[in-house]
Amino acid sequence: MDLYSGHINRLIDELAALPGIGAKSAQRLAFHMINMPREKVERLAKTMVDARENVRYCKECYTLTDQELCPVCSNRKRDHNTIMVVENSRDLAAYEKTGKYEGVYHVLHGAISPMLGIGPNDIRLKELMARLEGDVDEVIVATNSSLEGETTAMYIGKLIKPTGIRVTRIASGVPVGGDLEYIDEVTLLRALEGRTEL
């Protein structure tokens, strides 16, 4: 038996398909939206479509941005010879929040995971290697300390070592399995300062 109208059911299904939204939250959000003024719902829908249409990858570091180059890459005051490799744009934002890192980034958009069938070609590794043909002094691997993050770090280390470019790994002050974005700034900075050669 269908408890709700088809429209509400469809809305609940769409919301429940989003990451981190369970069936109960989806219901709550759906009913909230039904009761919102029409203009607010239209603004929300338009904001989502606009973001989807206008956000793109920075042509240098591949983070999500509105411009051809993200604010970090277009900032000439940043140290463009030091590249920190992170798994996603949220991790980049976490390090940016510390305000202490002066280099630039490279966003992989994922990590190597044999279990999930994600290989080196499925993340932005080729793009990283292409950047190393320029002037680069150090690559700091700041992938998460999960199994996937460590696997990715080891792989990157092996790939870069032969080029002679210094490659380091942030210290494991970061708890195992911890997502960088949830870790406080002090811990992030300590992990950066305590980085070791890969």
The footprint of Zn ion (CB under 5 A) covers 58, 60-61, 70, 73
Residue number with CB closer to Zn ion (91 or 148): 91
Residue 157, token pair as written in the block? 């280390």
Cα 179 off chain centre by = 10
Q: Which residues pair with 169 in a beta bridge?
A: 141, 196
Q: What is the CA radius of gyration of the chain?
A: 20
3, 6, 9, 10: CA torsion to nearest 10: 170
Q: How far is the CB of 138 from Zn ion (least distance, A)?
A: 17
CA angle 54-57-61, nearest 5°?
150
Q: How far is the CB of 71 from Zn ion (least distance, A)?
A: 8
Q: Give all strands (DSSP E) within 17-97, no chain letters.
A: 56-57, 64-65, 79-86
Q: How far is the CB of 97 from Zn ion (least distance, A)?
A: 16
Residue number with CB closer to Zn ion (58 or 170): 58
Residue number with CB closer to Zn ion (15 or 70): 70
Q: How far is the CB of 86 from Zn ion (least distance, A)?
A: 12
Contact 31, 25 (CB under 8 A): no
Q: In a 3-state reduction of DSSP, which class is residue 85?
A: strand
Residue number with CB closer to Zn ion (89 or 144): 89
Residue number with CB closer to Zn ion (61 or 191): 61
Residue with tokens 């996937």: 148
Q: How far is the CB of 133 from Zn ion (least distance, A)?
A: 17
